Structure 1
Amino acid sequence: MSPARGPVVPRRRLGAELRTLREQAGLTIEDAATGLECSISKVSRLETGQGIPKGRDVRDLLDRYEVTDQAQRERLMRWVRDGQRQGWWHDYSDVLAVGPDDPLVPDNLSRYVALEQDASEVRSFETALVHGLLQTEHYARAVLSTTSTADREVTDRLVELRMRRQNRLYVDDDPLIVHMVLDEAVLHRPIGGAPVMRAQLTRLLADAQRPNITIQVLPFSIGAHRAMDGPFMVLAFSDSDDNDLVYVESHLGQLYLEKEHDVQVYNLVFDALVDRSLSAEQSVAFISNLLLDR
């Protein structure tokens, strides 16, 4: 088993196994909630890896499901302990909690950050902005200052959080692998003004030289394509026990897709975008030419 960087992977593993055990016991979520004397939503959140698991709840569920194998019980309780850890992003809980009043800061942003930190690879299609993992500080500030209703102090904290998220790209040991497909519009939109955009394009060129970062441009010239309905991300995990998931964000909320069929559809769409995009080498040349014109 690959070591987890944060609490999300053990929570997902715990939830998936609890769901399997419940189904093997022939029980519904309602049955489990009744046995635990809690709400259905509590059991549902536990099975989907959301929230901090409590040892007593898990032990009670294992008793309800008549799980007697001691090794299995110990494995699940280890995941409970690992799932109770707090990641570095907990230091930003003050700004991660402002989401309900600000569509740019979703109330479950902390969940996405945690997933991103545990992921081994992020595949992303962007239509309007450079992905947060590749943004310069000034670009990020321009985005957040323009589209967020947060005050200056909160914006500063969100920018700092975004910069810290990028640290995984540059570590020597097991860096995060990213494959970004950028619609050409992303490169033309002058976020923050000309100087900020020049610095951002320069940053993309530098990142494109790293072995763990692939950047491809989807040019206007291809016309319509299979992802006309908007941006999305696919997060992959190194352990075979942890299923990939899709993250789609909008002003109205965030969508996590974890069913195998759904993830497969988005992976196929991403592969189609890759095939129609400029190659990594051609994309570097394309961005370099844009930079010369600015």
Structure 2
Amino acid sequence: MSGKRQNPPTVRLRRLAAELRLLRSAAQLTREEVTERTGVNGVTLYRIEKARARPQKRTLLALMDLYGASATQRADLLAVQSGSHDQGWLRPYHSELPEEYTAYIGFEAEARSVRNYESLFVPGLAQTERYARAVIKGVLPTASQREVEQRVRARIERQAVLTKPNPLQLWAIMDEAAVRRMVGGREVMVEQARHLAQLAEEPHVTLQLIPFDKGAHAGMTGSFVHMDFPDAQDPELVYVDTPAGDLFLESETEIRRYKSMFEHLQAVALDMDDSVKLLDSVAGQRD
């Protein structure tokens, strides 16, 4: 039997589906209860929450009314819904939004594996609390203490994906600059280097460092994250953090380009054992 091939859901549609699932869960409602109270067909609701169907605006409004969505959430979800057919997504940065509500964290929580290259930072999933606090204060110098602590808490909570029963597969490559830069002071960086070395012992984590003496390499253009997902209908994503906002890429051409870039970085980086030796050296030099 032949049939029309269904296009995979776009990154925006997937994010909309995830946010609606979270809102329904927060409202402590079953799908059956939502159907009874809104009149939205149960099959339709299921398809919306699985990113298999784009909700009509009136349906989205009815769901947000029932779930008690805030004004900010309503505006955000309506904007996502209006462009849900488009590939790619530059999500504007809003300093007033806490980090735990950003789209990236939602995708990371759903991912099967993450390949992360960082040129200047230790990857968020591998940061200690003190390093994370120092980084956030440095990158966001105008943030209030409350905002800093909110973001630190969100960053540390994200790391639960590495300790859950079926943990995220993390492959992180860092330029040596990420562990040499004195973020938060000597004591903080010794703790961070040792944490990285300990994390490298986990079977689902691979850490590699690119030493300074390797010279120029493909990652010098900037950091990025490549994610894939358990559901075959959810395409791979590439995430790039820019000053303008969160950039999500999903075209096959972009995915191939970043996968190739990561392969080049794997080849130029030290292997796991030598990377851990470099981390031990960094920690020892700072004791």
Structure 2-normalised TM-score? 0.70
- Secondary structure of the residue aligned to 1:235 is strand
- Coordinate RMSD, CA, aligned: 3.3
In 2, the alpha carbon distance for the partners of 1:108 and 1:167 equals 13
Deviation sequence 1:143-194 (CA, Å, 0-9, x none): 11122122001111111111100011012x2101110000011110010000
Could you tell me which residue of structure 2 aligns to residue 78 of structure 1? Answer: 46
Q: Where in structure 2 are there 5+ consecutive unaligned residues?
A: 1-5, 22-40, 52-59, 77-91
In 2, the alpha carbon distance for the partners of 1:129 and 1:273 equals 16
Could you tell me which residue of structure 2 aligns to residue 215 of structure 1? Answer: 207
Could you tell me which residue of structure 2 aligns to residue 157 of structure 1? Answer: 150
In 2, the alpha carbon distance for the partners of 1:210 and 1:106 equals 30
Kindly indicate whether the alpha-carbon contact (under 8 Å) linking 2:98 and 2:151 is maintained by their aligned counterparts in 1. no
In 2, the alpha carbon distance for the partners of 1:45 and 1:117 equals 16
Q: What is the Cα deviation at residue 270 of structure 1?
A: 0.1
| Distance change >3 Å, CA 257–CA 201, structure 1 → 2 | same
| Distance change >3 Å, CA 49–CA 292, structure 1 → 2 | closer
| Distance change >3 Å, CA 221–CA 240, structure 1 → 2 | same
Could you tell me which residue of structure 1 aligns to residue 123 of structure 2? Answer: 131
Could you tell me which residue of structure 2 aligns to residue 100 of structure 1? Answer: 94
Kindly indicate whether the alpha-carbon contact (under 8 Å) linking 2:93 and 2:244 is maintained by their aligned counterparts in 1. no
In 2, the alpha carbon distance for the partners of 1:260 and 1:293 equals 44
Letter in 1 for 2:94: P
Could you tell me which residue of structure 2 aligns to residue 268 of structure 1? Answer: 260
Could you tell me which residue of structure 1 aligns to residue 135 of structure 2? Answer: 143
Deviation sequence 1:199-255 (CA, Å, 0-9, x none): 000100110000111100011111111222111110111222111100001112221
**How many correspondences in the alignment?**
227
Between 1 and 2, higher relative CO (CA 8 Å, sep ≥ 6) is seen in: 2
| Distance change >3 Å, CA 156–CA 196, structure 1 → 2 | same
**Aligned counterparts, 1:1-294, within 5 A:** 16=8, 46=13, 49-50=15-16, 77-81=45-49, 99-101=93-95, 110-148=102-140, 149-171=142-164, 173-294=165-286
Deviation sequence 1:90-144 (CA, Å, 0-9, x none): 9xx99xx994247xx7989621110000001110110111011100000000011
Letter in 2 for 1:150: A
- Secondary structure of the residue aligned to 2:234 is coil
Kindly indicate whether the alpha-carbon contact (under 8 Å) linking 2:134 and 2:184 is maintained by their aligned counterparts in 1. yes
Q: What is the Cα deviation at residue 79 of structure 1?
A: 3.1
Kindly indicate whether the alpha-carbon contact (under 8 Å) linking 1:124 and 1:234 is maintained by their aligned counterparts in 2. yes
